[in-house]
Amino acid sequence: MSKGSASISIILAAVFGFFIGVVAGGKWTGTEGTPATTEAAASGDAQQDSTRIPVGSSPTQGPASALVTIVEFSDFECPFCSRVEDTVRQVRERYGNKVRVVWKNAPLPFHQNAEPAAKASIAAHRQGKFWQMHRLMFQNQRELTQPNFERWAQEIGCNLEQFRRDMNSPETAAQVNADKELAQRLNAQGTPNFFINGTNLVGAQPLERFTALIDQVLARAETITPRNRVYAQMVDSPVAAPEEPQRPQQPQQPRQELDPNTVYKVPVGNSPVLGAADALVTVVVFSDFECPFCARVEPTLASLRERYGRDIRFVWKHMPLPFHQKAVPASEAAQEAMAQQGHAGFWRFHDALFVENRPNDILERPSLERIAQAQGLNMARFRAALDNHTHQAFIEADKTLAQQIAANGTPHFFINGKRLVGAQPLDRFTAAVEAAIAEARQRVAAGTPRSGVYEAITGNGATAPVYQGGGAGAAAQPQQQGPDPNRRYTVAPNPRAPFRGGANARVVIEHFSDYQCPFCSRVNPSLDEVARTYGDRVKIVWRDYPLPFHQNAMPAHIAAREAMAQQGNAGYWRFHDAIFAEQAQLSGEGGRAFLERIAQAQGLNMERFRAALDNRTHEAAIREDMRALDGSGAEAGTPASFINGRFVSGAQPFAEFRTQIEAALAEPAGAARR
């Protein structure tokens, strides 16, 4: 063999050996399985790794030479991790090749399917298919099962035998454990958790929080030479995270309350209508398809339709809130259904969006198209309406009307012109409807035709907000949406309530919840994270608030109370966890059997347990909790939490709880306790 031929053979062997080494080592780090043999790597511009937060062989998106590296610790079963994925995508679009994203698995122990999902993702990664698997897992977050992992692996082109071997291999388990141990060393508690060139950013933060930090990191990175030392150097000496934006201070003046007896002129116009044109009562609903409280009130509205028949009609007004990104497309889709199929088409689409136990992806574009197709809409027209925002002006007109009459927040109702705010219980609605019917019948008796009652009552109504004590307020100065962050609410304590954490902790969370409420289930990971993070410094007190339209909620609350009566505080929390672990089984006729199975599995005295359910033994104590929330003055549904008296509404992420807890801990000891 000639020297030239030998040299060529050596070079080819070296290149082939390097390629095999990359594949064998799992170092497939480009988008959708592109190997990391980039020009940057070849030219020596690839970032040197850090020993403190190593990239290693983890999946990455973006070039190896990027000046900003975002290491994301995440959990495929965590709803907050799912929520932040779109934000991460926007970051990559905004910064392009200046950013790379590194995935680290941090499956939380209370997410049963998270660790198998993490192993499946690594098995896909070893075949260069991590990001395809990542996308399918988050799109189908409630279906993380072994058969689905294998089905998805085949769909994205993995060799199934190799996938199974890799998923079950000790090396894969070791890689997942290494990620978890790294998270622990970095004190990265909870998911999602980010390190941006070493600077920590916790939780599903909005885009502006990411960009504020990235801009600061990038400014420092561009001053460092050589460029391939940026990541290692900045991780060793990270920049300080920018302060969280301060909440605006509320004006120090008496808060005006809207007059509940004022009749407003709220035109029906061309809005979707459900009910008889000559109904005695017209309920105008300002609502948002993404709002959980709007979903919660739908069964109550259905009950009103059943009770009052042709005496009541409903008028829908679109009010997609600005922080609900999926609300506008949903409104546009429903309005297009009306354009094609009339009022009935709108309400069919409305019902499909508010279906009970609706999946997380119900408002995504593919789901909207599936509903449209199932309901026989012209799909070309439907897609064009969404793409071209055909109904935007109609929706904006509804929002303008809402602003003019201070219909702030959703859901918001006008019952024959009189305001009712929020997802109120059925009795509040029936009281308002009965009063409206009585007035309408007097009008009819005096000669007003039924079809003219609504106009007669509201035609001269107010067109701007009217406050108690008289006077119209400026429509351009709407009341604050949501709870006042500076207000302290007084919640009657329950010394016999089950709790977690320190019995004498400085910070007390009074947490009102409903076992059948899906949003109550959703907030549990945040509270679990609170318990892990703060230990005995925080006391989490469970308070019962079964909603009246959840027919199996009260029995579930009674059952959990009986578990506490028999097995103490620990028994209560075991029962609590078992209910939420399979919450869907609580619905329907099998709810009682589900509760009895839990009781038997946990060793309760079944004779006493059944007697407690039959005799509603603990109902009086449960209703005391309900009165405590009702008497607090907060406009609250479930879940509702009070952190040393400060109200946190809904299924908030851990970051929101942490902000309030840290503020309470920073207060003097006397001020922090109620």
Structural domain includes residue 483: no
Structural domain includes residue 359: yes
pTM of the model: 0.39
Could you tell me if 280 and 203 lie in one domain? no
pLDDT at 10: 41
Task: Give residue-wise pLDDT tens across range 39-82.
Answer: 344 345 899 999 999 999 999 999 999 999 999 999 998 888 88
Could you tell me if 398 and 444 lie in one domain? yes
Domain residues for the domain of 369 are 273-458
| Residues whose CB is less than 8 angstroms from the CB of residue 497 and which lie 6 or more positions away in sequence, other chains included | 541, 542, 543, 625
Structural domain includes residue 131: yes
Structural domain includes residue 488: no
Alpha helices (H) in 506-584, listed in sequence order = 518-534, 553-581
Looking up residue 125, the CATH number of its domain turns out to be 3.40.30.10
**Residue 451 vs residues 8, 272, 343, 443, 447: alpha-carbon distances, Å:** 93, 17, 18, 11, 11
Structural domain includes residue 472: no
Could you tell me if 278 and 232 lie in one domain? no
Residue that finishes a domain, picked among 177, 207, 236: 236
Closest by CA position to 575, among listed 618, 626, 639:
618
Q: In the chain, what is the greatest distance between 2 CA atoms, to the nearest angstrom?
A: 115
Residue that finishes a domain, picked among 236, 253, 282: 236
Could you tell me if 444 and 553 lie in one domain? no
Mean pLDDT (the chain) is 85
Could you tell me if 532 and 411 lie in one domain? no
Helix (H) or strand (E) holding 74: strand 68-74
Instruction: Tell me what the mean pLDDT of segment 641-670 comes to.
Output: 84
Could you tell me if 444 and 507 lie in one domain? no
Could you tell me if 170 and 67 lie in one domain? yes
Structural domain includes residue 93: yes
Structural domain includes residue 161: yes
Question: Please, are residues 576 and 542 in contact by the beta-carbon 8 Å criterion?
Answer: yes
Could you tell me if 178 and 326 lie in one domain? no
* Residue 46 in tokens: 């690839």
Q: How many domains does the chain have?
A: 3
Closest by CA position to 46, among listed 61, 32, 67, 72:
67
Instruction: Tell me what the mean pLDDT of segment 566-571 comes to.
Output: 94
Could you tell me if 344 and 423 lie in one domain? yes
Could you tell me if 152 and 286 lie in one domain? no
Could you tell me if 552 and 437 lie in one domain? no
Structural domain includes residue 174: yes
Task: Give residue-wise pLDDT tens across range 409-443.
Answer: 789 999 999 999 888 889 999 999 999 999 999 99
At 650, is the pLDDT very low, low, confident or very high (cuts 50, 70, 90)? confident
pLDDT at 307: 95
* 236-250, 311-325, 392-406, 470-484: least confident range: 470-484
pLDDT at 204: 83
| Residues whose CB is less than 8 angstroms from the CB of residue 7 and which lie 6 or more positions away in sequence, other chains included | none
Rounded Cα distance, 438 and 431, in Å: 11
Helix (H) or strand (E) holding 640: strand 640-643
Could you tell me if 279 and 232 lie in one domain? no
Residue that finishes a domain, picked among 406, 433, 458: 458
